[in-house]
Amino acid sequence: MDSLLTVQDLQVQFQTKKGVNTAVDGIGFSVEKGEILGIVGESGCGKSVTSLSILRLLGTNSMISQGSIKLEGRELLSLSEDEMCKIRGNEIAMIFQDPMTALNPTMSIGEQLMEPLMIHQGYKKKDAWKEAVEVLKKVGIAAPEKRMKEYPHQLSGGMRQRVMIAMAVSCAPRLLIADEPTTALDVTIQAQILELMLELRQKMNTAIILITHDMGVVAETADNILVLYAGKVVEYGSVKEIFNNPRHPYTRGLLNSIPPLEEDVDELNTIEGTVPGPGQMPAGCRFSPRCPLASERCSSCQPGLYKAGNSMVSCFQYEDGQA
């Protein structure tokens, strides 16, 4: 089966006053039609940079220094800005992390919803209004005609997030990138947003890249999981396999940090240490300073990605394919 999206050997660098820092280093993955891929890791691991690279929305101080990003075989990195504008919002859409800052506070909800329909789908203003109302209904917003005339500050956090999803899916994109779509929402609204995304996948066969630090969200929604640490892939495979048999020490640490629901916990499990900052990457395995299993070799040599079961793991324990 041909993949909808294929990312290979992606490297993203940022120019800073102290020199060039590599935020994403050699990341590769693929997404099939209708698949949900969860990308997980702590803050600073390269999740959002990876997603912005796909849409080529990185800042002026950044560059994609190597790699390939293909949408059904079409190389996105070689397209002009005008060609990318036709893809953004139309073939690939994104739900940004903070709906309050992502929505334009000076434009009504209706104006913001109508804009992509008029630009990408060629709707006239009257038809765009009708379609925008229908999209708001689909994402569960009551009194959509009233909400169309309101501004972002007049809506709750959960409602703003639904508007963001409505904007993202209004042109029926083939790929939806959701960057922390449930952050800062209460548990009830979180569940509703995730259920909505699953419905969209089922009805429209939309592939979804779900970026999150919440392993519980990934377990509920995703088919496959990509675990990032300090800009590198440390584990990649199906959700079922990785949750049942996590192989990389970092993945185990993330899963162990989820508090159990069935018992009282006096102290939460944590991963000691912090993610290395830009320009502070260890010479060897980037997780080695925090890894309880690290050897001398781990501190000096970087492991490759090795096959273990049906997963890929970046750890010397699996170098011979036997562990």
Q: Give the per-residue pLDDT at 181.
A: 83
Per-residue pLDDT of 151-188, as tens digits, reads: 999 998 888 988 988 888 888 899 999 998 877 677 88
Q: Give the per-residue pLDDT at 287.
A: 96
Tokens of 76: 């996105």
Whether the predicted pLDDT of 288 surpasses 90: yes
Using H for helix, E for strand and C for coil, what is the string for the chain? Answer: CCCCEEEEEEEEEEEECCEEEEEEEEEEEEECCCCEEEEECCCCCCHHHHHHHHCCCCCCCEEEEEEEEEECCEEHHHCCHHHHHHHECCCEEEECCCHHHHCCCCCCHHHHHHHHHHHHCCCCHHHHHHHHHHHHHHCCCCCHHHHHCCCHHHCCHHHHHHHHHHHHHCCCCCEEEEECCCCCCCHHHHHHHHHHHHHHHHHHCCEEEEEECCHHHHHHHCCEEEEEECCEEEEEEEHHHHHHCCCCHHHHHHHHCCCCCCCCCCCCCCCCCCCCCCCCCCCCCCCHHHCCCCCHHHHHCCCCCEEECCEEECCHHHCCCCC
Q: Give the per-residue pLDDT at 198.
A: 87
Average pLDDT in the 110-126 region?
A: 93
Tokens of 296: 């001398």
Tokens of 270: 């944590």
Q: Kindly report the length of the chain.
A: 323
Where is average pLDDT lowest: 87-96, 274-283, 295-304? 274-283
* Position with higher pLDDT, 269 vs 40: 40
Where is average pLDDT lowest: 25-39, 72-86, 155-169, 227-241? 155-169
Q: Give the per-residue pLDDT at 184.
A: 67
Distance, in Å, from the CA atom of 24 to the CA atom of 232, rounded to the nearest integer, reads 6
Average pLDDT in the 261-284 region?
A: 82
Tokens of 88: 């953004």
Whether the predicted pLDDT of 313 surpasses 90: yes
Average pLDDT in the 185-197 region?
A: 80
Partners of 37 in the β-ladder:
209, 224
Greatest C-alpha distance within the chain: 67
Which of the four pLDDT bands, split at 50, 70 and 90, describes residue 231? very high
Whether the predicted pLDDT of 321 surpasses 70: no
Distances in Å between the Cα of 153 and the Cα atoms of 57, 100, 180, 314 are: 25, 8, 20, 45
Distances in Å between the Cα of 66 and the Cα atoms of 17, 26, 77, 147 are: 22, 8, 10, 44
Average pLDDT in the 233-239 region?
A: 97
Whether the predicted pLDDT of 247 surpasses 90: yes
Which of the four pLDDT bands, split at 50, 70 and 90, describes residue 53? very high
Whether the predicted pLDDT of 240 surpasses 90: yes
Tokens of 175: 């790929």
Distance, in Å, from the CA atom of 4 to the CA atom of 112, rounded to the nearest integer, reads 28
Q: Give the per-residue pLDDT at 104.
A: 92
Whether the predicted pLDDT of 67 surpasses 90: yes
Please provide residue 69's backbone torsions phi and psi, each rounded to the nearest 5 degrees. Answer: -130, 110
Distances in Å between the Cα of 266 and the Cα atoms of 216, 260, 263, 269 are: 20, 11, 10, 10
Q: Give the per-residue pLDDT at 267.
A: 76
Average pLDDT in the 216-234 region?
A: 94
